[in-house]
Structure 1
Amino acid sequence: MPISSSPKARLALAAVAAFGTRPFAEVGVAELAADADVTTGALYHHFGSKLGLYAFVRDDVERRLLDRVEGALATAAGDEATARIVPAIVVGFDFAVREGFLHLLDAPPPGAEADRLVETLRSAAPTASPVLADILAAALRAAVHAVGAGADADDARDALQSLAVHGSADRPGRDF
């Protein structure tokens, strides 16, 4: 983030607050500029468009989410994917809810070629099913989305914590 008193930083802070609590389409350029005490021209100058500003703050917020998930993965006990990944996605969920980033983190980044959350989770369990990371990233985002739509955060958190599923008769010893 830029220095907090600069017009660019004020726009970024206003965007985090607005996009965190409301969907992209519900946030207007004039509102963002007014909340940052700048002109709409400043928004276009620094970010090119509302989407450019959104992408800037989305990237910053996602990086903060990934820092927490990576930290939780590094400290998680056990070798099984469930023992490492489920607690890490719960940490990510708690961060998104606590900071009010519900509408910023409830979907994959728009237009991105790679999904950094999926890549982070995949690196935590490289021998697990090739789609495990995709499914768990989607579960984290679905829980965040549910809270943003009015669901109880504790219920969504409990649902994430219940994701531990173990091998079946036809696939013994597999995690998930």
Structure 2
Amino acid sequence: MREWVPVSTSPRGRLALAAVEAFGTRPFAEVTVTELAAAAQVTTGALYHHFGSKLGLYAVAREDVERRLLDRMEGAMAAAGGSASSRSAAVTSALLVGLDFAVREGFLYILGDPPAGTEHDRLAETLSQNFAPAAPLLGRVLAAAWRAALTAVAAGEDPAQARAALAALRIQPPDEA
């Protein structure tokens, strides 16, 4: 499991850390360039120099947070084993491990939305690849359910209720339908 730790003394590193915190706890539209620069103790020019735009900084922060999420989810699926009978349990375990991580770290908003500006959804792909053959639509549906649980927690729902909702999903792989 990798943990990306930028050099917090560099302007780029401070901006990245400020972005992870701000975009994790608030919607993208509510976070301003000025506040990100102030939190990192840099000018807005430094943000544009290092990342091109607020969206560029968001993309770097999201990439980092999503990689940490997927490392944990992949580990949970691997621990559950690879037999056909354990695939459903492995995916459920991954969904719960991912939810716990996102809630604990305060990444509700940055992970609660689908990736912006791309069709490439690594969460959906990771979930679908646990099935043989891979089930892309199932992966997208499960990713949407997981993100809905995060969105509910961000809106004030009890994380235990979101966890129970994900645990209640009955996942039947396509080859067993």
Other-structure match for 2:91 = 85
Q: Which runs of 4+ in 1 moved over 6 A?
A: none
Other-structure match for 1:67 = 71
Do residues 2 (structure 1) and 6 (structure 2) align?
yes
Q: 1:172: how far off?
A: 10
Give the alignment's TM-score, normalised by structure 2.
0.90
Q: Distance in 1 between matches of 2:175 and 2:119?
A: 35
Q: Distance in 2 between matches of 1:129 and 1:113?
A: 16
Q: 1:2: how far off?
A: 3.0
Q: Which runs of 5+ in 2 are unaligned?
A: none
Other-structure match for 2:59 = 55
Match of 1:105 among 102, 106, 111: 111
Cα deviation, 1:38-78, whole Å, max 9, x if unaligned, reads 00000000000101000110011001100001000100145
Do residues 123 (structure 1) and 96 (structure 2) align?
no
Higher helix fraction (1 or 2) = 2
Higher strand fraction (1 or 2) = 1
Q: What is the one-letter code of the residue matched to 1:10?
A: R
Q: 1:121: how far off?
A: 0.9
Other-structure match for 1:20 = 24
Q: CA RMSD in A?
A: 1.9
Do residues 135 (structure 1) and 141 (structure 2) align?
yes
3-state SS in 2 of match to 1:2:
coil
The verdict on how the C-alpha distance between 1:165 and 1:6 changes in structure 2, with shifts beyond 3 A counting, is closer
Identity %: 61
Q: Distance in 2 between matches of 1:55 and 1:166?
A: 33
Give the number of aligned pairs: 171
Is the CA contact (8 Å cut-off) linking 2:51 and 2:57 kept in structure 1? Answer: yes
Q: Which runs of 5+ in 1 are unaligned?
A: none
The verdict on how the C-alpha distance between 1:89 and 1:50 changes in structure 2, with shifts beyond 3 A counting, is same
Give the alignment's TM-score, normalised by structure 1.
0.90
The verdict on how the C-alpha distance between 1:130 and 1:63 changes in structure 2, with shifts beyond 3 A counting, is closer
Q: 1:4: how far off?
A: 1.6
Other-structure match for 1:76 = 80
Other-structure match for 1:39 = 43
Is the CA contact (8 Å cut-off) linking 2:109 and 2:151 kept in structure 1? Answer: yes
